[in-house]
Chain A
Amino acid sequence: MLIYVAKRLVLAIAVLVVIAFLLIALVTVVPGDPARTVLGTHATPELMRQVRQTMGLDQPVWEQTWNFLWGALHGDLGTDFITRAPVRDELGRPFVNTLVLSLTSMILAAAIGIPAGVVSAVNSGGVIDRIVRAVSMVLLSTPVYVVGLVLLLVLSVHFHWLPSLGGGSFSDPLDYAQRLLMPAFALAVYWIAYLARLVRSSMLEVLEQDFVRTSRAYGVPESTINFRVALRNALVPIVALLGLMLGYTLAGTVYVEQIFGRVGLGSLALSSIGNRDWPVVRGVVLIYAVAFVLGSLLADVAYRVLDPRLRVEQDAGVFV
């Protein structure tokens, strides 16, 4: 197990290094000089050289990558072109907002998706099952921004039930929670459908097993079979999925924050793209990538911890 974790960790670090390298290399490959973006078209060559130097653009790509990674490890993500503030300080608050949004949506997804899947599996073939399957098919296909716009349209514009714009602040927790609800649900919709389908199919698979038939024959109550046996087994892949969900819901926040006017990593990235503020974009992208890589690392490890059968193959290694 330890060997597997170590190998997987090496892979994760390699991926992050490649990402950092790509983020640095992109600037040199793509036409347009960041120094030019900061200074405008009328800058003197002398000034250009100075700014390039402070931005580190005069160094070779490898060295820049190293500096970027080394800085990032020490919590230094560079300096904002526009405000001249450290990027780290600018990311702090939005990051918390975005993370809260992401985690809330994951909780919502689990709280709705898993019961829906159980109901669907237990009534397999029935009316409820068909409805759950049809609805989840549609929700699974619908892009997150469409879901967000529809929710906004129905709940805020039409019924005025929930406040539509802004994220509120922590000083007013009730307001904050209320404002969190709709965006988090918009983000959760895809995963509700996904979890419902996953729970349904893995429960059905377990219910077909011989040991379930034997339990029935011994007179174990149907509810015990459904919940203690089938659901427990069905939850294994879901726990492992949580890591991946974190990465994907974080990415989805870009759309959701835009629609619901929230301050967060996504909206920050969008506004800094408008300003061509590359250090901020780079910092945000790095955070997303770290969350994603870390999430999938946790997913892989959790899967093996939870399902002992997989551990048998573990020493075959990462690359087989």
Chain B
Amino acid sequence: MSLPLSQEPDDLPASTSAAAPAGLDTSGVLELQAYTRRGLLRILRSVLRRPSALVAVIIIAALIVVAVLAPLLTPHDPTKIDLDTALAGPSSGHWLGTDSLGRDNLSRLVYGARVALQIAIPSILGAFVIGASTGLIVGYVGGAVDRVFLVLFDAVISFPSVILGLALLTLLGPSKKSVVLVIAVSMIPYYGRLARAQTLSQMRNEYVRAERALGASRARVLRSHVMPNALAPLLVIVAIDIPTAIAIEAGLAFLGLGVQPPTPDWGVMLNDGFTVIGTSVWPIAGPIAALVLVTTSFTVLGETFRDELDPRSAGRVRGQR
């Protein structure tokens, strides 16, 4: 049930409703714009100096490497059925044992990383592109358009992603494409609201008014000033939201609504393993460990970034240590 981490810098009183009670307060991330590129490098370096963050980075890097190199790393075909060895425990041939159809758990786990990223990355990127551009334009135009979109965003946010998934997948039928669509749709309003809020705060700047006074067109101001300044900080949030997408994807697959068997997917593995939970733990042990490690790593990393970026909280933490 993890929620998107993006929390908006609260510029409207009504928005406690929309600002999901995210686990992390990412407000500090938005301070990024205060830093130059060199400052960013410095922050990166001090983030990596913390052991917990370093471990998190290593785990995330491992996830990516495993996903990319999946065919080279797996000794078995992840979908090859061999009923003779069904539900075997760990052995030298199958390090994590086999599932109810005798498929190699480790190979399925490794390929599952690939499926997870294949769905998470396009859905988050899609949500960012659509959400951010909508938020940008809506915030810039303002007025009635702005209000209509706020209500629209609120309406979509009022569907928790599972429920939205239930509704959309009933009608679309389950497939990779529909899962990407469901995740994207559920994230769009968060990015939309964030981008809108960022745009509004950018437009309050003197230089934007100066530029307009000098005769620049609205489109030019929007493109060359408001957009880069408003959106750059959001990119970090996008990266932190990847595990949210992975969790939704695996969750839908677990419910039988997302990616369908026999695709090697963490959620599908959980679903398969759940039916034999009384006989063998090995089919679900892998995906459980993978999901916990990956999501926690991203959380730790996001948290560390926030601490580094928010001088107030960083000072407090250091003061206590």
Residue ranges of A at the interface with B (Cβ–Cβ < 8 Å) = 4, 7-8, 11, 14-15, 18-19, 22-23, 26-27, 30, 32, 124-125, 137-138, 140-146, 149-150, 152-153, 157, 190, 193-194, 197, 204, 240-241, 244-245, 247-248, 250-252, 254-255, 258-259, 269-270, 273, 276, 278, 281-282, 284-285, 288-289, 292-293, 296-297, 299-300, 303, 310, 313-314, 316-320
Residues of A within 8 A of B250 (CB): 143, 145
Decide if B158 is an interface residue (CB 8 Å cutoff): yes
Q: How large is the interface on B (under 10, 10 to 19, 20 to 34, 35 or more residues)?
A: 35 or more
Residues of B within 8 A of A26 (CB): 167-168, 171
Residues of A within 8 A of B211 (CB): none
The CA-CA distance from A320 to B1 in the complex, in Å, is: 31
**What sequence of 0s and 1s flags, for each residue 144-164 of chain B, a beta carbon within 8 Å of any chain A beta carbon?**
001100111011001111110
The CA-CA distance from A313 to B281 in the complex, in Å, is: 55
Distance (Å) between the CB of B259 and the closest chain A CB?
15
A145 and B254 in contact, given A247-B160, A248-B21 (Cβ under 8 angstroms): yes
A318 and B254 in contact, given A149-B288, A251-B163 (Cβ under 8 angstroms): no
Which chain B residue shows the least CB distance to A317?
Answer: B13
Residues of B within 8 A of A124 (CB): 320
Contact across chains for B251 and A143 when beta carbons are under 8 A apart:
yes
Distance (Å) between the CB of B253 and the closest chain A CB?
10
Residues of A within 8 A of B298 (CB): 141
4 A-B pairs besides A248-B3, A299-B17 with CB distance below 8 A are: A157-B277, A247-B158, A251-B160, A292-B158
Residue ranges of B at the interface with A (Cβ–Cβ < 8 Å) = 1-3, 11-14, 16-18, 20-21, 23-24, 146-147, 150-152, 154-155, 158-163, 166-173, 243, 247, 250-251, 254-257, 270, 274, 277-278, 281, 284, 288, 291-292, 295-296, 298-300, 303, 316, 320-321
Distance (Å) between the CB of B169 and the closest chain A CB?
7
Contact across chains for B1 and A251 when beta carbons are under 8 A apart:
yes
- A141 interface neighbour in B18, B254, B299, Cβ under 8 Å: B299
A244 and B21 in contact, given A19-B158, A269-B166 (Cβ under 8 angstroms): yes
Which chain B residue shows the least CB distance to A251?
Answer: B160
A145 and B270 in contact, given A18-B151, A255-B255 (Cβ under 8 angstroms): yes
Contact across chains for A146 and B291 when beta carbons are under 8 A apart:
yes
The CA-CA distance from A251 to B257 in the complex, in Å, is: 15
Residues of A within 8 A of B255 (CB): 254-255, 258, 270
- A255 interface neighbour in B11, B24, B146, B254, Cβ under 8 Å: B254
Contact across chains for B277 and A15 when beta carbons are under 8 A apart:
no
